[in-house]
Amino acid sequence: MTKTVPIIFASGSDPVSDGFVLSLSRPGGNVTGVTFLAGELGTKRLELLRELASNAIIAVLANLDSPDAVAEKREVQAAAEAIKQQLILVDASNDQEIEAAFATFAQRGAGALFVGSGAFLNSHRERIVALASHQRLPATGAYRSAVDPAPGR
């Protein structure tokens, strides 16, 4: 890493565990940036989804190619085990796998959807929202998922 050129990052994962900075409060050196810590909120999102759809089997759509998703998956699975919540975890890293995931969710009786963090799933959020709506699955995502029906208002 350079010692003289300023480095600015934007990350959805944890820049400390990724090795970009020493700590969030004191990054050190010439590195600074913004983190969304989307994966860190997995447990809270699971709790809120469970309140919304109590007693439902919760489907988890993840892209395990994303570094954010691996840590988020561990966190959500641990939280689900602690509260005896049944999960259906499906990995999707392309369009066909997203479609197949929703077929699996329907077949296995999912009653709610937890959409994992990461750039791939975020870039496919419109399709994911449409599929969840078609199956009438309440869902939570790491990022804004709704598309403004009336842009410019």
Tens-place pLDDT, residues 6-45: 877 776 566 777 777 787 777 777 877 776 665 567 888 8
Measured CA distances, 88 to 31, 80, 121, 136 (Å): 39, 11, 17, 16
N- to C-terminal Cα distance for the chain?
A: 45
For 68-112, what is each residue's pLDDT tens digit?
Answer: 778 888 889 999 999 899 999 999 999 999 999 999 999 999 999
Q: Could you tell me if 104 and 88 are in contact, meaning their C-beta atoms sit under 8 angstroms apart? A: yes
Q: Nearest to residue 61, comparing CAs of 107, 14, 11, 120? A: 120
For residues 129-137, average pLDDT: 95
Instruction: Indicate whether 1 pLDDT > 70.
Output: no
DSSP 8-state code for residue 146: P
What is the pLDDT, as a whole number, of residue 27?
77
Bigger pLDDT: 68 vs 51: 51
DSSP H helices, 27-124, are 42-52, 67-82, 95-107, 119-123
Q: Which domains, ranges and CATH numbers included, belong to the chain?
A: 1-35 (no CATH), 39-140 (3.40.50.2300)
Prediction pTM value: 0.73
